[in-house]
Amino acid sequence: MSIYSIRRMRHEMADYQRMADVERLMFPDDYGTSEAWREQYEGDDPAYLNESYFVEEAGQAVAAFQFHETPAMHLPGKVRLWLMVPQGASEALCETLVSALEARMADHPINRAVGPVNEAYPALMTALQAHGFRSVLQQVATTLNVAAFDPAPYAATAQRLAEAGIRVVALDRLMAEDDGWAEKLYELHRVARRDIPRKPGIRATDVTLDQWRNDTFGSDFRAPLWMVAVTETGDYIGTGNLWLWAAVGTIADNGFLGVLRPYRRRGVARALKVALIEAAQKAGIAVINTSNEMNNPMLQLNQQLGFVETPHSRWHQMEKWYGL
């Protein structure tokens, strides 16, 4: 019988490396580096709750959990969860993790916890359900074979936009051309993200420009893998980007993609996606991963571009309310 212990993560490189190692147990092909974990934690605003713990067996970290308030989605008493267990994790390990999670959260005035769990981890899903969590939203993960993508069928979209005075430009070029690029991109992101599909009653909250810079421009930032749709008057009206994990340099994760409302249904999102895939081809990226809420039109667009569902493609947003 396994004997587990719980230890809070320390803000030191050895524990950042342990987090990367645990993530690798969960995602062998798509995990972060110790440096990426360091940036994530050291860049956090201390005004917001953020705690992480290891589940250890014989002194070795075998799982981890995190609960944190999110400045950009802040509601008093609400925390986001991130739970990491190995593929094939036992019922005992998952039960230990969820019990420890709830015990640590009980030390804070938390009334709601929500976080994603993949269908590939049935023991973790079962443990959460046994503790009163329920699935409130489903997302579909898809992946693209970058080398197989042919941009030629989409050239007409880019041409039509160009005739309307809209061009798609890589961020590294804008950084050289436009002194106000950061403020304009921040404002675009701030407005466009309000329309991300969410549960009723959930809304985006604004962060400061400095906090956005701190959260955005870390070691995983790649300006050539960030596209912006720009009008002939220099307005930023759409954006999309890829995050490239340094540990696995041929796998990219799709970041936020959004277009301002007055410019939707013109093909701007499609042009941004195509430009990002072309940039990925030039960068030697083999795979792009993304996920979308099941009823989000972006899922259909991704599938039209060649994204396909993965073997374990379904993610459940698991939620529990406390003290009600």
Query: Could you tell me if residue 42 is inside a domain?
Result: yes
Is residue 236 within 8 Å of residue 186, measured between CB atoms? no
Query: Could you tell me if residue 121 is inside a domain?
Result: yes
* Same domain as 150, residue 105: no
pLDDT digit string (tens) for 72-86? 666 789 999 999 999
Structure tokens at 26: 């969960």
Which of 106-120, 216-230, 244-258, 295-309 is modeled with the greatest confidence?
A: 106-120
Task: Look up the domain containing 60 and give its range.
Answer: 4-132
* Same domain as 155, residue 97: no
* Same domain as 108, residue 172: no
Query: Could you tell me if residue 318 is inside a domain?
Result: no
Question: CATH code at 257?
Answer: 3.40.630.30
Q: What was the pLDDT predicted at 197?
A: 55
How far apart CA 281 and CA 40 sit, in angstroms, is 28
* Same domain as 289, residue 184: yes
* Same domain as 270, residue 180: yes
* Same domain as 161, residue 117: no
Question: Looking at residues 47-63, what average pLDDT do you find?
Answer: 95
Listed residues 132, 160, 179: the one ending a domain: 132
* Same domain as 258, residue 198: yes
pLDDT digit string (tens) for 283-315? 999 999 998 888 888 889 899 999 999 877 889
Cα–Cα nearest to 72, from 205, 224, 239, 210: 205
How many domains does the chain divide into? 2
Within the chain, strands assigned E span: 4-8, 50-57, 60-68, 78-84, 112-118, 134-145, 166-170, 226-231, 236-244, 251-259, 287-293, 308-321
pLDDT digit string (tens) for 137-186? 889 999 999 999 999 999 999 999 999 999 999 999 999 999 999 999 99
Which of 21-35, 219-233, 269-283 is modeled with the greatest confidence?
A: 269-283
Residue the block writes with tokens 């009723």: 200
Could you give the angle at the alpha carbon of 227 between the alpha carbons of 253 and 193, nearest 5°? 70
Cα–Cα nearest to 241, from 263, 257, 264: 257
* Same domain as 148, residue 125: no
* Same domain as 117, residue 217: no
Is residue 167 within 8 Å of residue 229, measured between CB atoms? yes
Listed residues 79, 99, 132: the one ending a domain: 132
Is residue 234 within 8 Å of residue 178, measured between CB atoms? yes
Percent above pLDDT 90 for the chain: 66
Structure tokens at 57: 């067996």
pLDDT(116) > 90:
yes
Query: Could you tell me if residue 154 is inside a domain?
Result: yes
* Same domain as 106, residue 152: no
**The pTM is what?**
0.77
Is residue 89 within 8 Å of residue 63, measured between CB atoms? yes
Query: What integer best gives the mean pLDDT of the chain?
Result: 90
Pairing relationship of beta strands 251-259 and 287-293 according to DSSP bridges: parallel
